[in-house]
Amino acid sequence: MRIEIKQLCGCWRTEFGMIQVRGISFSFKKGRPIFAGLNLEASPGEFLVLTGHSGSGKTTLLRLLQMEIFPEEGEVNVAGHSSKNINSKKLVSLRRSIGVIFQDFRLINSMTTSENVALTLKVTGVSQKWLAERVLRTMGEIGIANLAHFYPEELSGGEKQKVAIARAIIGKPLLLLADEPTGSLDPEASRGIIGLLRKINIGGTTVLLASHSVSLFEGDRYRILKINNGLLAAHRDNGG
């Protein structure tokens, strides 16, 4: 029997998993296939690390999970939304259930950090008072409430990434996708960001993080997967 649970974001997920990728194939412009029969399953609350060499398809897989692009064969199912029957209304619902973090931060330099964090929810039409309170609370949870009136150019790389994380989680997403979130940071800042993402994960958010290195991910708290020749396999050198 399938049990469905309605979330505040308006999307649905089932007991069968947060992410289900079945036999997908994908290539750009009829070139060499990036994926050929790739499968992936992730349960609610998991922390997955996706690794692989440059060009292996890590970013492409994250884009497929956002349904920014679609597989040529197979199916992507995220939080109960299937790539086979997604429409514009369902796509909006899906996007609201996913938070995304980028390596290059993608902050708007002409806006303060609090204005950047507010962007995700501002387009939903919530009241200004409620939004302002939510922004400050979220920034406080991340430990950057003191940076609310700063501009991105005034921040360090680690601080910029924390602002980007606050922006990604302000809508309380079911799934957090992080594309090389420590790629441009020094080791100390990188450890801080991974610790922060782990804290968010412990709070119940499923995390899928793409990284070219697994040295920051030790122990059995993470499931590490490697893309190789268009397929996924368990990466066993994880210190656990």
Which contacts qualify for 6-9: CB closer than 8 Å, 24 or more apart? 7/79, 7/97, 7/174, 8/172, 9/93, 9/96, 9/97, 9/171, 9/172, 9/173, 9/174
Tell me which of 123 and 11 has the higher pLDDT: 123
Percent of the chain with pLDDT over 70: 91
Report the pLDDT value the prediction gives residue 220, as an integer from 0 to 100.
72
pLDDT tens-digit series, residues 111-123: 999 999 999 899 8
Question: What are the residue boundaries of the structural domains of the chain, listed by start?
Answer: 104-172
Report the pLDDT value the prediction gives residue 77, as an integer from 0 to 100.
97
φ, ψ of residue 37 to 5 degrees: the values are: 80, 30
Tell me which of 64 and 185 has the higher pLDDT: 64
Report the pLDDT value the prediction gives residue 235, as an integer from 0 to 100.
75
Q: What is the pTM of this model?
A: 0.88
Report the pLDDT value the prediction gives residue 236, as an integer from 0 to 100.
55
Report the pLDDT value the prediction gives residue 218, as an integer from 0 to 100.
78
pLDDT tens-digit series, residues 147-203: 999 999 999 999 999 999 999 999 999 999 999 999 889 999 999 999 999 999 999
